[in-house]
Amino acid sequence: MRRALFGLLVAAAAFEAGAARWAFAQSPRPAVLSRLIWFDRGGQRLGAVGPIADHGNLEISPDGARVAVAVTDAARATRDIWMYHLASGERTQFTSDASDENWSIWSPDGARVLLNSFARDHLTLLEAPSSGTSERTQVLGGGEGKWPVSWSPDGRFVLYVTNTERTSNDIWVLLRDGSGTPFPYLHTAASENWAAFSPDGKWVVFSATDSNSGQPEVFVAPFPAPTRRFRISADGGAQARWRRDGKEIFYVAPNRMLMSATIETDASGVTVKDYEPLFQLQHPYGAYHAFDLTADGQRFLVNTLVVNPGGSRVIASR
pLDDT tens-digit map of 135-161: 899 999 988 899 999 999 999 999 999
Let me know if residue 48 belongs to a domain. no
Identify the CA nearest to 102 among candidates 59, 56, 144.
56
Task: Tally the domains of the chain.
Answer: 1
Listed in sequence order, the residues at least 6 apart from 40 whose beta carbon sits closer than 8 Å to its beta carbon are 46, 298, 299, 300
Instruction: Kindly report the CATH number assigned to the domain that includes residue 152.
Output: 2.120.10.30
| Collapsed DSSP state (helix, strand, coil) of residue 170 | strand
The b/e string for 269-292 (b: 16+ C-beta within 10 A; e otherwise) is: ebebeeeeebbebbbbbbbbbbbb
CA dihedral 261, 192, 174, 115 (to 10 degrees): -80
Let me know if residue 41 belongs to a domain. no
Let me know if residue 300 belongs to a domain. no
Residues 203 and 270 sit within 8 Å (Cβ to Cβ):
yes
DSSP assignment of 104-150 equals EEE-TTSSEEEEEEEETTEEEEEEEETT--S--EEEE--SS-EEEEE
pLDDT of residue 312: 52
Let me know if residue 38 belongs to a domain. no
Q: Assign residue 77 a region: left if phi > 0, alpha if psi is -120 to 50, beta otherwise?
A: left
Q: Residue 31's pLDDT band (boundaries 50, 70, 90)?
A: confident
Let me know if residue 77 belongs to a domain. yes
Measured at the CA of 55, the angle between CA 286 and CA 238, to 5 degrees, comes to: 25
Identify the CA nearest to 6 among candidates 304, 239, 189, 291.
239
* pLDDT at residue 22 tops 50: no
Neighbours of 45 (CB within 10 A): 14
Q: Residue 164's pLDDT band (boundaries 50, 70, 90)?
A: confident
CA dihedral 193, 198, 204, 209 (to 10 degrees): -40
Q: What is the mean pLDDT of residues 73-84?
A: 95
Q: What is the mean pLDDT of residues 276-287?
A: 96
Percent above pLDDT 90 for the chain = 76
Let me know if residue 101 belongs to a domain. yes
pTM of the full structure: 0.89
Residue that wins the pLDDT comparison between 133 and 149: 149
Distance of CA 193 to the CA centre of its chain: 9
DSSP assignment of 27-47 equals S-----EEEEEEEETT--EEE
Let me know if residue 46 belongs to a domain. no
Mean pLDDT computed over every residue of the chain? 89
Distance of CA 52 to the CA centre of its chain: 20
* 299-307 and 33-40 strand pairing: antiparallel
* pLDDT at residue 14 tops 60: no
* pLDDT at residue 11 tops 80: no
Q: Residue 162 belongs to what domain range?
A: 58-278
Residues 303 and 290 sit within 8 Å (Cβ to Cβ):
yes
pLDDT digits (tens, 9 = 90+) for 189-227: 899 999 999 999 999 999 999 767 789 999 999 999 999
Let me know if residue 212 belongs to a domain. yes
Q: What is the mean pLDDT of residues 236-257?
A: 98
Residue that wins the pLDDT comparison between 50 and 178: 50
